[in-house]
Amino acid sequence: MSWMVLERTSVKLYKPYYTTAKRCFELILCLILIPILVPIGLIIALAIRLDSPGPIFFVQDRVGKGGRIFKMIKFRTMHQNLNKDTHQLFMKAFVNGTAKEKEGQKTFKPFSASDVTFVGRILRKTSLDELPQLINVFKGEMSLVGPRPNVVWEVEEYRGWHKERLEVLPGITGLAQVRGRSCISFDRIVEYDIEYVEKQSLKLDLLIIWWTISSVLFGRGAH
């Protein structure tokens, strides 16, 4: 696909030690968390299986660094056999800046509450649905911190400057997530992502991780 050959809209120089240090930190953290998260993951998997029919995991092609496609993994939080066309139309409109909030809501969401399973609502509220993405981090397809990865048909709607967010590995969390992802426009999300690309450092990564944990604990920015 032609859009996958991305033209760089800016030139940014990165210190080699940062990328190496970040990768080492993430691998060490993943190894430390495995004994803790595996039992939690098994409990979540059982809860999903008992709650609603369908697979335990949701696997979807996403666009990563430099336009490379990878399969992102999440715990399934929604019912099966939903109308995906409606979701796709909404998200394309969101990227283009023409999506409208639903009446009575202050967030941009392509689905209704009834589309999400009972267990799914808990997982989304606590962000535990994102845990399997540690596999993507371990494989080097994602990072703990970075812009959230979009699906192919969303990236096809990008304007030129939007592609700057593809200059780094996508993340499980990011600057836009801790600053109210569900309540802001796509252009604003990209502005935060570009701000991260320009200012990225281990200190900023640790701050974003801390802000993410705080948001989960106090229930802010749940999606």
Q: Where exactly are the structural domains of the chain? A: 15-216
Q: Give the span between the Cα atoms of 220 and 126, in whole angstroms.
A: 10
At residue 111, the pLDDT reads 62
Any bridge partners for residue 69, and if so which?
63
Q: Where are the alpha helices (DSSP H) in 58-185?
A: 84-96, 118-126, 133-138, 152-155, 175-178
CA-CA distance, 161 to 158, in Å (whole number)? 8
Contact 81, 172 (CB under 8 A): no
Residue 95 near residue 157 (C-beta atoms within 8 A) = yes
pLDDT in tens, 70-129: 999 999 999 887 777 777 888 888 888 776 655 444 455 656 678 899 999 999 988 899
Tell me the chain's radius of gyration from C-alpha atoms.
17
Q: Which long-range contacts (CB under 8 A, 24 or more apart) does 23-27 make?
A: 23/140, 25/202, 25/205, 26/137, 26/143, 26/144, 27/138
Sequence-separated (6 or more) residues with CB below 8 Å from residue 110: 86, 87, 90, 91, 94
Higher pLDDT, 51 or 92: 51
> What residue type is assigned to position 149 of the chain?
P
Distance CA 125, CA 219 (A): 7
Confidence at 193, pLDDT banded by 50, 70, 90: very high
* Dihedral over Cα of 117, 49, 76, 177: its sign: positive
What does the mean pLDDT of the chain come to? 85
DSSP reduced 3-state for 202: helix
pLDDT > 80? residue 178: yes
Contact by Cβ (8 Å): 142, 170:
yes
pLDDT beyond 60 at 4: no
Residue 172: pLDDT over 80? yes
pLDDT band at 10 (very low <50, low <70, confident <90, very high): very low
Chain position carrying tokens 């979701």: 87
pLDDT of 194? 94
| CA triple 37-41-44, angle to 5 deg | 140
What per-residue confidence (pLDDT) applies to 220? 56
